[in-house]
Structure 1
Amino acid sequence: MKQLAPWKAGEQDTINAVLRRAAERHGDRIFLEFLGDEYSFAEVSRRACRLANGLSALGVKQGDTVVTILDNSADAVFIWLAINKLGAISVPINTALKGEFLRHQVGDAGAGVIIAEHDYAERVAAIADRLPELRTLVYRGDMPNLPGFKQSMLPWSEILSTNTADQDVDVKPRDLAMLIYTGGTTGPSKGCMISHNYAVTFAHQMIRLTARTQDAITWTPLPLFHKNAVCSTVLVNLMIGARVSIYTRFSVSNFWPEIERTKATDVAMLAAMFPMIAKAPDNDAMKRCYGQLFAAWGAPFPPDIQAIWKERFGVKHTVAGGFGLSECSLMTLLPFGTPARPGSSGLRNEWFDVRIVDDNDVELPPNTPGEIIVRPRMPHIMFEGYWRRPEDTLKVMKNQWFHTGDIGMFDEDDYFYFVDRKKDYLRRRGENISSFEVENAFRAHEAIEDVAAHAVLDPLGEDELKVTIVLKAGAQLDAETLCKWSIEHLPYYAVPRYFEFRTDFPRSPVGRILKYELRDQGVTPTTWDREKAGIVIKKR
């Protein structure tokens, strides 16, 4: 292991200071573009000031939470910055949430003011009687029809003050800027408390990762209710004086026309977006944009898909080197220009002390999988805990280290490799099985749309492996045939005992598979059992 950096102060900063510096340095240069509307650095600052003054008139003060349920728009950027100007805490909520999912996060945040698109306002009204701290609902767009809504309701125009004076609020780097709610795949979602300095540090990490410069025009369709879009795109470009173009939502057909229209030089996307573009048919805009993109960033971004982007689209750099969580931004990253290694997710960095440990928190040697634990090397670069949940915070801070619940390893040169979620990492008859690797193997089958590999408890008290499968439309496949296929494609010890076909998985509102529900359901009446079918696997 290389010599690790000592504790140091780092660059303590705030989002508010970043905005003020950007407005002073870059003034009337265009910073933000949305569907043809353009806003300079100075105008973005003025809009944020106007909204901050409007929120102040509603009684929003330092330390208050303000919930936003907004689609991508320039206004979504302005209101985020406005909330922070007051020293208040921005709580961007996923626009897919409704019912109890929505009530849980909004109620947990405890906001007195909620700002929502007019159609999402109806969802808020439906749960308003269970939101005791709500006093004002601000709607954006047409006035919603909310019969029986008892709290105050105002249009967006009412909070857009004519007063452009900046707020005189002493906001410190350690103060909270936002709450980002976790996905809740293992239980109720929790609000990660993100400080101003955490957000700015994450942006610094992204600059190191992408080498983005002032000449960049960054295009992204990522939702602004995610920390990724806000910090790794908007805040980064605000810091370096570059331009950002925000799109409503991802669309394969509109991708290249948008790249051509905005003259984008780099794109920030996620996961399935990259292969969808890579495998889409040619179009005229794509051909005209060959070589226009300097960089494409996102994760996961498999090497084979990166190769397609470079060869087919003329993209000079594809970037995917980093591993992080809502609680601790990027624990590892690959500085721009550093050689990557297949399957790795970056290197150790100066911001975090990351270790791989066994169940007793004893550090493991290189190339040995174990739980990833982490602590900061600078003040206020990790989350400040879970909002209103000190007990949950203490649970993950064993031995004064944040325990991620993920399995990973470092090689002898400090390259990091993600292995699996700890809850999904099985040990069966003396062999370790990564559900992550099992799922990747099954996704190679031409008939499979998606798969979840997970444990079920065997009557003898040991974990057994089950795969729950969703087939592609029109595909035909039975469990025995798939089992025999898996014997040829997986190590003998990773061949599942149980197989089950479904039309879909239990999912969270953001689309993540709820594996804990699959584990709890265990062996169902429609589960096929390899051992009962008499299929014997030979060790090989």
Structure 2
Amino acid sequence: MARDDQRPGLTLGGWLREEAALDPGRPFIQCDSDWVTLGGLDQQSDRVAAGLQATGVRKGDRVAINLSNRLEYIVLIYAIAKVGAIQVPLNTYLRGDFLRHQLVQTTAKVYIGDSAAMEMLSPVLANLTDRPELVLVGEPAQDATLQPDLRYAWLQDFSGDLAEPDIDPTDVCAIIYTSGTTGPSKGCTITHGYYCNLINVFVDNGWYEKGDVIFGANPLFHFSGQTWLVAAALAVRGSAIVEPAFHASTYMARIRETGATAALGMGAMGMAIMAQPPNDDDCNHKLRHITFMPSTAEFNEQFEKRFGIAPYAEVFGQSECWPGLLGDPRDNRHPGSMGKLTRGLQVKIVDDHDREVAVGESGEIVVRPDEPFRLFSGYWNDDAATVQAFRNLWHHTGDRGRVDHEGYFWFADRKKDSLRRRGENVSSIELEQAIMAHPSIAQAAVHAVPSDLGEDDVKVCLVLAPGSDIEPQELFEFFRKSMPYYAIPRYVELLESLPANVNGRVQKYKLRERGITTTTLDFEKLGLVVARNDRRKA
């Protein structure tokens, strides 16, 4: 069960404080560290919150975090919330204009990161409207080009008092960026009430049980990492092991070692785990529930045969509505479905004119709440996008699906022009803009192609400027320096022109129909990939 009263009107810092008062000595969180108790996390976040206040952070200010999974990140989530400020979790692989866009749009007052994050920031700092205060976590790089204003250790050891402001469940506590469809990525405004309430929907549907030991390697800059792992452990009065990074070769061994009862991750993680050599201890674990989202019925069957437990992934959602649909693993399973309606949220399948379609027919998935705190509160500093998404009083997800006679929803395809690769959302518009910054490229059209690991691989069709030529190595190096590693196209095809309609709009469906042709370059086959250790290097 979730919290005894399941009150949706909590604030994030207040929730931690209440739980810590009930059981301060309970081991709660582990992230490449010894166990930290609830009381310890509450006290640490109080000190860091007071330190942030002392530097001038006030209610409503934005604090950007650019860190991989580590204990300081979890402390910061609650410290920022206690000040009434707004956390802006940055994907650690952002660089160039991708990073600049999010910092400019949120006008972050503080930028907190490790040495790699500082090096990522250095090339774009001069192009920011307002320079944030720089807080370094850990040790600086030996050849650092950017000096921090403050060390995190100072915040951690601050001894002053916290003057906690009045914070309401309707106040924004986070801005989570998601892929844009007609422009750069958009920031979803997440209120305290939405953040604290959403995990109860998973608990109601049997995904978690009281006292669960929850395990995962989802990045904390993802909404799923913060909610599926940390918030879930708070909701069921359990504990969480947040891995610093995902390693397919040790994932199941760590589950055995920690005694985890629930584990949650992304679909590509599950595929990578299955690619590891079988082990005599594969079925030696205490798991009651495991999720890899998305995953196919075939994958679930193979995983169960090997590890003795079938993954459960009957869920649909995005940062705007998490979860939008959900199944209950205690009921009959419908592998491949997105689950059913959940408490507090209406869902319909509509045509292009927002008219509900018949059962079994495909259309866009639209949602709206009939309870408080079941959706995000719009896009940060983008009223036009908010109005467009909420047209006719329904939030339009940009995804297409259908519903069957039993009330189960099934995914069809993406209506929006975005991709999902290696667990990350990729805006094709944003990626095309970055690609066309190369002087030899006149036009670029990005689209998805099927990936062997599930989700998508990225293909770009290019038209070169007249008289231009470009070598694969040069193009790959340009991609590596100007975009996150997961957004780098695997496939490149040079065309004389892009197919377009009478209005000049590129007809991407024709490019998708072409797929991978004999003239398509495959960077992976050419040995052009970004090594794991180089993914956060500027």
TM bin (shorter chain): 0.7 to 0.9
Residues 458 and 110 of structure 1, relative CA distance in 2, 3 Å threshold: closer
- What's the offset of the Cα at 1:312? 1.5
After TM superposition, the structure 1 = structure 2 runs for residues 415-454 of structure 1, keeping only pairs within 5 Å, are 415-423=408-416
Equivalent in the alignment of 1:82: 79
* Corresponding residue number in structure 2 for 1:98: 95
- 2:174 counterpart SS class: strand
1:322 alignment partner, one of 315, 318, 341: 315
Taking a change above 3 Å as real, the CA distance of residues 164 and 278 of structure 1, as seen in their structure-2 partners, is: farther
- Structure 2 Cα separation of the partners of residues 40 and 319 of structure 1: 30
1:70 equivalenced with 2:67 (yes/no): yes
Partner Cα separation in structure 2 for residue 296 and residue 80 of structure 1: 25
1:468–1:502 contact (8 Å) kept in structure 2: no
Distance change in 2, residues 1:453/1:330 (3 Å): farther
For 1:22-79, what per-residue CA distance to the aligned partner results, in whole angstroms no more than 9, with x for missing partners?
A: 1012211100112341100110111110100010001111111100001111111001
Q: How does 1:449-468 map to 2 (within 5 A)?
A: 456-457=499-500, 464=510, 466-467=512-513
Larger radius of gyration: 1
The letter of the residue matching 2:299 is I
- Write the deviation string for residues 427-448 of structure 1: whole angstroms up to 9, x where unpaired: xxxxxxxxxxx966x9699xxx
Q: Give me the whole-angstrom Cα distance separating, in 2, the residues matched to 1:333 and 1:280.
A: 30
**Is 1:194 aligned with 2:165?**
no
Alignment correspondent of 2:535: none
1:296 aligns with 2:290: yes
> What TM-score do the two structures reach when normalised by structure 1?
0.77
* Equivalent in 277, 285, 300 of residue 306 of structure 1: 300
Q: What is the letter of the counterpart of residue 313 of structure 1?
A: F
Match of 1:142 among 139, 142, 149: 139
Q: Aligned equivalents of 1:21 and 1:345: distance in 2?
A: 34
Q: Give, in whole Å, the separation in 2 of the partners of 1:259 and 1:21.
A: 29
Corresponding residue for 2:46?
Answer: 49
* Contact 2:51-2:160 within 8 A present in 1 as well: no
Q: Which amino acid aligns with 1:180?
A: I
Measure the CA separation in 2 of the matches of 1:444 and 1:294. 25
User: CA offset at residue 402 of structure 1?
Assistant: 1.3
How many aligned residue pairs are there? 453
Identity %: 30
- Counterpart for residue 388 of structure 1: 381
Instruction: Report the residue type matching 2:169 in the other structure.
Output: P
Q: Which residue of 1 aligns with 2:35?
A: 38
Q: Which runs of 5 or more structure 2 residues have no equivalent in the other structure? A: 1-5, 419-447, 462-497, 533-538
TM-score in terms of structure 2 length? 0.77
Secondary structure of the equivalent of 1:23? helix
Correspondence for 1:27 among 24, 27, 37: 24
Tell me which of 56, 61, 65 is aligned to 2:58: 61
Post-superposition offset of 1:275: 2.0
- Secondary structure, in 3 states, of the residue corresponding to 2:311? strand
Please provide the CA RMSD for this pair: 3.1
Deviations 1:239-258 (A, max 9, x none): 22111011111111122332
Deviating 4+ runs (over 6 angstroms): 145-148, 451-455, 458-462
Q: Which moved more, 1:23-32 or 1:180-189?
A: 180-189
3-state DSSP of counterpart to 1:298: strand
> Among 167, 176, 181, which residue is 1:180 paired with?
176
Structure 1 residues 139 and 201: CA distance shift in structure 2, 3 A: same
Match of 1:361 among 354, 362, 373: 354
1:453 and 1:111 mapped to 2: Cα distance?
32
Q: CA deviation at 1:320?
A: 0.7
CA shift digits 1:350-405 (9 cap, x unpaired): 22111111111111111111111111112232111111111111121211211122
Kept in 1: contact 2:212–2:239 (CA 8 A): yes
- Displacement after TM superposition at 1:186 (Å): 4.9
In structure 2, the partner of 1:257 is 253
SS at match of 1:335: coil
1:280 aligns with 2:276: yes
CA distance in 1 between counterparts of 2:499 and 2:202 reads: 39
Structure 2 vs 1, CA of residues 176 and 37 (structure 1 numbering), >3 Å: closer, same or farther? same
1:291-322 CA distance string (max 9 Å, x none)? 4222112310222222233222122x532111
Contact 1:452/1:468 (8 A) holds in 2: no
Change over 3 Å in CA distance of 1:372–1:135 after alignment to 2: closer
